[in-house]
Structure 1
């Protein structure tokens, strides 16, 4: 894997990790925002032949500081493109602070 680091000093811009065997395969981290208790950023994956669906893993555990005595997980699949864009917008609106 290759790595293209930060641009300039100060706050890092995008981070791009590119496969050295196939430069068309890459992961980009971008748009980092840090709030009181969270860090938010976007992850973009690119590769030739990526399927038209995205797999999302959802997990629920006890709150922070509590012993992890249980966990519930589920996987959902949605179509890439407009359905994924709509879901991202809906989740962003749902999680927005008032």
Structure 2
């Protein structure tokens, strides 16, 4: 049975965060376990984050603490790990649209 890949702006964003973490890790010659140990998280957490999934068919949603710890250990900023523009997560925003919610003048970043 084929596993359904998460779709939508958040899933795309989560996948890109994972790709960026993986690129930084590989550039340093580190294993997932070495990164996980240095950041104080589990290897499984790093593995799933790099895949952009938290469970099959479900987009990754790491804690801020996890992303901050990984950034600190990798010696990069949060901006280096998070792509822009951010997906619109405000209440009332269309889950399939990556743009601003109608009638809102609040900045995304």
TM-score (norm 1): 0.22
**TM-score when normalising by structure 2:** 0.21
Determine which structure has the larger helix proportion and give its number. Answer: 2
Q: Kindly indicate whether structure 1 or structure 2 has the higher relative contact order, using CA contacts under 8 Å at least 6 residues apart.
A: 2
